[in-house]
C-alpha cells in the first residue's frame, strides 16, 4: 500500500478519500427515546412514525419509554448519548415548557440538542370528564368550580406539562380555581378521570377518542378555534362557555444529541417527511387531531426557539413559580 501511495504522489494522481467508518447507516438498531409513559399520544405517534421510517431505512427503530420529570429524564438520556445517529428523541411541547418551569435543567435545550424535524402540530385539546361529573358544558364547569365548598379536581401529565398550562390558562380566563392533581404521563392522568379520582382533564385527542366513543368519559369541549372533524358534535370551549378562548395542543418533535453528523440529521428528516405523506400514517395523525409536518432541521430549530419564548411568556402570565 505504501508503494502505491508513493507512486501516486510521484505521478500527481489523486487518491480516493476513505471515511473512517464506511458502514452503511443504520448498521444496527436505532434507539428512539420517548420521555413519557407508554400509551399516551406522544407514544402512539412515535410508534406509528418510527415503524415506517425503519422500513425506509432498512433497519430497526426501538422505542425506549423513559418517563419522569415532565420529559426531563428521557431527554437527558439522549443529551448524554453518543452523537452517532443511533439515539434520538421523540418528544412533545414539554421540552419547550421546561426551561420556564424548572429552576435548573440538567442540559441546555438549544445547545445540547439538535432538532431534526417537527413531526406534527395539534389544533387543540379535548376536555373530558367522568360520566358522574355534573357538568355538561364548560359553562357548567365554571359554575361548579365557583363553589369552593366542593372543589373541582383535574388531572394532568405533570406539573408544568402542557396539559397543566392549558388548564390553568382556562381557569385564569374564566376566573376560577380548580384543584390540580399531577400524574406521570397522559395515560395515568386519563386513568384518573376514568376511575373518578378527578372530575376532568384537558387531553390531547389521540388518547381520548376511544374512551369518548365508548362512553367511558364525556367530551365537554374542544380547545381549538374550530370544532374537531373527528368529533364534530363536540363544541369548542368558546362555544361552550368561555367566548374567545382557544389553545392548540402543541406538537411532537424529533431531536438528537448535539454534534450528531449533519448528514444523519438530514437523512432522518427526509425519511420522517416521506413517511408522514403515507396515507396510513397521515390517517393516524389526523384522526388524533394532528397535522403532519416534517419541516427541515433549520426550520425546526427556529420554531423550537420561538416556542420556548412563547411558553416562557405564558408561565409568567399565569404566575407559575419554577420548581
Task: Give the number of domains in the chain.
Answer: 2
Pairing status of strand 179-182 against strand 153-156: parallel
Helix (H) or strand (E) holding 144: helix 138-145
- The upper half-sphere exposure of residue 259, i.e. CA atoms within 13 Å in the direction of its Cβ, equals 7
Over residues 208-253, the pLDDT tens digits come to 889 999 999 999 999 999 999 889 999 999 999 999 999 988 899 9
Q: Is the pTM of this model over 0.95?
A: no
Cell numbers at residue 219, please?
A: 367530551
Q: Return the CATH number at 312.
A: 3.40.190.150
So what's the pLDDT on residue 22? Answer: 55
Q: Are residues 81 and 39 in the same domain?
A: yes
Asked which of 208, 240, 272 is the last residue of a domain, the reply is 240
Q: Are residues 311 and 283 in the same domain?
A: yes
- The upper half-sphere exposure of residue 85, i.e. CA atoms within 13 Å in the direction of its Cβ, equals 19
Q: Are residues 270 and 218 in the same domain?
A: no
Cα–Cα distance for residue pair 171/282, rounded to 1 Å: 33
Residue 257, strand partner residues: 113
Q: Return the CATH number at 176.
A: 3.40.190.10
Over residues 283-296, the pLDDT tens digits come to 988 877 888 999 99
Give the closest residue to 40 by CA, choosing from 195, 215, 208. 208
Q: Are residues 71 and 85 in the same domain?
A: yes
Cell numbers at residue 242, please?
A: 368561555
Q: Which domain does 139 fall in, by range?
A: 126-240
Pairing status of strand 200-203 against strand 126-129: antiparallel
> For residue 134, what are the CA distances in angstroms to 64, 143, 240?
40, 11, 15
Over residues 61-113, the pLDDT tens digits come to 999 999 988 899 999 999 999 999 999 999 999 899 999 999 899 999 999 99
Q: Are residues 211 and 283 in the same domain?
A: no
Asked which of 191, 218, 240 is the last residue of a domain, the reply is 240
Q: Are residues 218 and 311 in the same domain?
A: no
Asked which of 213, 240, 267 is the last residue of a domain, the reply is 240
Amino acid at each position: 500500500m505504501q508503494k502505491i501511495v508513493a507512486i501516486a504522489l510521484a505521478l500527481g494522481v489523486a487518491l480516493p478519500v476513505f471515511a473512517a467508518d464506511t458502514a452503511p447507516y443504520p448498521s444496527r438498531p436505532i434507539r428512539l427515546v420517548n420521555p413519557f409513559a407508554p400509551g399516551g399520544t406522544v407514544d402512539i405517534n412515535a410508534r406509528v412514525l418510527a415503524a415506517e421510517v425503519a422500513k425506509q431505512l432498512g433497519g430497526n427503530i426501538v422505542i425506549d419509554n423513559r418517563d419522569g420529570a415532565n420529559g426531563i429524564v428521557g431527554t437527558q438520556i439522549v443529551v448524554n448519548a453518543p452523537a452517532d445517529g443511533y439515539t434520538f428523541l421523540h418528544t412533545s411541547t414539554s421540552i419547550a415548557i421546561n426551561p420556564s418551569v424548572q429552576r435548573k435543567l440538567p442540559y441546555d435545550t438549544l445547545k445540547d440538542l439538535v432538532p431534526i424535524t417537527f413531526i406534527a402540530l395539534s389544533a387543540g385539546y379535548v376536555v373530558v370528564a367522568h360520566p358522574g361529573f355534573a357538568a355538561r358544558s364548560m359553562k357548567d364547569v365554571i359554575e361548579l368550580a365557583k363553589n369552593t365548598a366542593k372543589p373541582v379536581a383535574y388531572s394532568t401529565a405533570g406539573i408544568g406539562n402542557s396539559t397543566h398550562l392549558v388548564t390553568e390558562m382556562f381557569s385564569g380566563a374564566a376566573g376560577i380555581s380548580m384543584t390540580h392533581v399531577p400524574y406521570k404521563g397522559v395515560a395515568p392522568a386519563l386513568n384518573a378521570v376514568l376511575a373518578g379520582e378527578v372530575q376532568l382533564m384537558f387531553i390531547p385527542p389521540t388518547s381520548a377518542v376511544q374512551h369518548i366513543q365508548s362512553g367511558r368519559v364525556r367530551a365537554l369541549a374542544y380547545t381549538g378555534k374550530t370544532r374537531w372533524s373527528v368529533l364534530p358534535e363536540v363544541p369548542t370551549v368558546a362555544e361552550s362557555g368561555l367566548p374567545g378562548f382557544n389553545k392548540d395542543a402543541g406538537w411532537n418533535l424529533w431531536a438528537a444529541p448535539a454534534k450528531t453528523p449533519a448528514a444523519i440529521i438530514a437523512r432522518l428528516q427526509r425519511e420522517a417527511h416521506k413517511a408522514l405523506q403515507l396515507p396510513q400514517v397521515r390517517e393516524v395523525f389526523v384522526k388524533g387531531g394532528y397535522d403532519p409536518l416534517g419541516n427541515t432541521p433549520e426550520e425546526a430549530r427556529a420554531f423550537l426557539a420561538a416556542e420556548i419564548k412563547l411558553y416562557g411568556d405564558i408561565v409568567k402570565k399565569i404566575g407559575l413559580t419554577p420548581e
